[in-house]
A and B are shown apart, each in its own frame.
Chain A
Amino acid sequence: MLGFLINRLLQAAAVMAAMTVIVFVGVHAIGNPIDVLIPPDATQQIRADVIARYGLDRPLVEQYLAFVGNLVRGDFGRSFVFNVPVAELILSRLPATAELTLLAVLGASLLGIPLGIYAGYRPRSPVSRAIMGASILGFSVPTFWIGLILILTFAVELRWLPAGGRGPTAVLLGVPWSFTSGEGLAHLLLPALNLSLFKLALLIRLARAGTREAMLSDYVRFARAQGLSELTVIRGHVLKNIAIPIVTVFGLELGSTLAFAVVTETIFSWPGVGKLIIDSIRDLDRPVMVAYLVLVTFLFVVINLVVDLVYGALDPRLRPGAAG
């Protein structure tokens, strides 16, 4: 078990190192941030000063090594555009995205998994057909369009919910959150719903496919032959067997939504990290881009590690060191 963890952490370090190189080189290739940072009418002297200050005159390898050296000390550098430490910048935006993502992913799971199980348990019932039909919409209708329709319906026409922004925040454990107040929650609701629809559809389909397969299995038949009630069969036997693909997708969706909730954040003017990264790409704000993508890599590595550990908890055959 310890060996497994060490192995995984080493892998994670290698992935992150590779990621910094790719991002660094890639960002270097797409353009020179100086053109964005300095007004076109600046003198040659100012130009040279700025370039020297940011170390942009040195060879790329040197710049990279300096960056990595700082990174190891926990220094992500300063944003070219905002002129504040990058770590601070990202952390100030992260809670907004985190609460939005968690609400969306958890909501989708709590609703989608039971619906999917039902649809798999009674595949021929009209209710199941309705669930599956609706889930196709969740897949195929683009997020931005649903977002606009949600705003039009609930904010403009019905005036039930605010159209955008984060609303008031309250500090909890040193971090500002929206979900602690009623009004903050109202601001959260529409963007979270928008984000969750695709995941909801995905989880419904996964849970349904798994349940259908499990219901036909011999162990379910054997459980029934022992007189277990249908509810016990589903709770005790089916749920744990269909959990592996669900956990996988849950992890991937959690990671990718945390990192790239860009569209929804833009439509609902949600001040999260998705908007930050889009702005930084437009402005060629290299430190922010690199730090952000390294952070995202780290996030995925951690989520995948957790998912792997959960696999072991769910299925004894997948435990590290398990025979067979």
Chain B
Amino acid sequence: MTAPILEVRGLATHFFTRAGIVKAVDGVDLAVARGRVLGLVGESGSGKSVTGFSLIGLVDAPGRIVAGSIRLDGRELVGLPPAALRALRGRRIAMVFQDPMMTLNPVLRVGTQMAMALDAHAHLPRAARRIRCRDALGRVGIPSPDERLAAYPHQLSGGMRQRVAIAMALLNEPDMVIADEPTTALDVSIQGQIVHEMQRLVADTGIALLWITHDLAVVSALADDIAVMYAGRIVERGPARDVLAEPRHPYTRGLLDSVPGEVPPGGRLPQIPGSTPALRELPPGCAFRGRCGRASAACTTMPELPAGERSVRCHHPL
């Protein structure tokens, strides 16, 4: 593996609410290399989105990064002054959000919004700016990009809007893109197109892609590596093929079993009992032990996630 463009060590993002400290992200290690796709998988509330927002320095109050290091191309991002972070956002590290209906400003033309994204980092003459925006739209597979520049978001379909959002994220040619469930709100057929488009873009441009999702089907089609997140921690990671074929953490196993397909039609789908624990009152030890069939007395201490490409945080791995 080549040197990673993004390297996260021990990242912890906590929310200081009145009811107590919510440890949404609690010691996450990640690494993504250029031209690679890392799938960050987990249920709602596992902290995967907060991890994404932490990486671009956009954690909403009352949350903040309390520990850890985020290195982008060797440069430490944690503790960087806001202005320096702003200069990096969009330019070196960009993000695409879940709901394309909400991420574009409804009252501004696509071209206007793209021009603002360009202006945030470079001052180009009008004509050059227009060409950059048009090419960016063309690159993500938008037909007749010239017309789309003059369109308002409500005149575009959901899939088209998400393509516009992706084009905007790629506009300043970042090294790293974080995609936070970008296909969740779309039709399955459109999902497939977007996933395919992203694969092509990663191959063409060599960007590093962190794909945050709860959808294992999408990840299996796209990711080179997978990190499974549970209750603010990575519980298993490794090459996508290995993790999907031979999951070692009971939670990963449960997630995979919950995907329809293996079960005959009409059969009962296996499910993980219970739900994600409240992050405010996590008991010590493995956060999954309350839902785990293999839990033992040993699980009251937190298992470590060994270093290495393929590892699992479990006292009783499969």
Contact = CB atoms under 8 A, between A and B. Distances in A.
A21 B252 CA distance: 76
B18 to A, nearest CB: 13
Interface in B94-108: 94-95, 97, 99, 102-108
A222 B104 contact: yes
B107 A223 contact: no
Given A217-B102, A221-B97, A227 B121 contact: yes
B216 interface: no
Contacts of A317: 106-107, 152, 154
B116 interface: yes
A315 B108 contact: no
Interface stretch (B84-92, B139-147, B275-283, B285-293): B84-92
Contacts of B172: 226-227
Interface of A is mostly: helix
B157 to A, nearest CB: 12
Assign chain A's interface to a size class.
20 to 34
A245 interface: no
A221 B99 CA distance: 12
Contacts of A223: 105, 113, 116-117
Contacts of A228: 86, 90, 116-117, 120
Interface of B: 56, 58, 86-91, 94-95, 97, 99, 102-108, 112-113, 116-117, 119-121, 152, 154-155, 165, 168-169, 171-172
B103 A224 contact: no
A324 B165 contact: no
A315 B116 contact: no
A314 interface: yes
B90 A226 contact: yes
A26 interface: no
Contact of A323 (B87, B104, B116, B155): B155
A324 B157 CA distance: 12
Given A229-B86, A232-B120, A316-B152, A224 B58 contact: yes
B108 A237 contact: yes
A225 B94 contact: yes
Given A232-B116, A324-B154, A225 B95 contact: yes
A225 B58 contact: yes
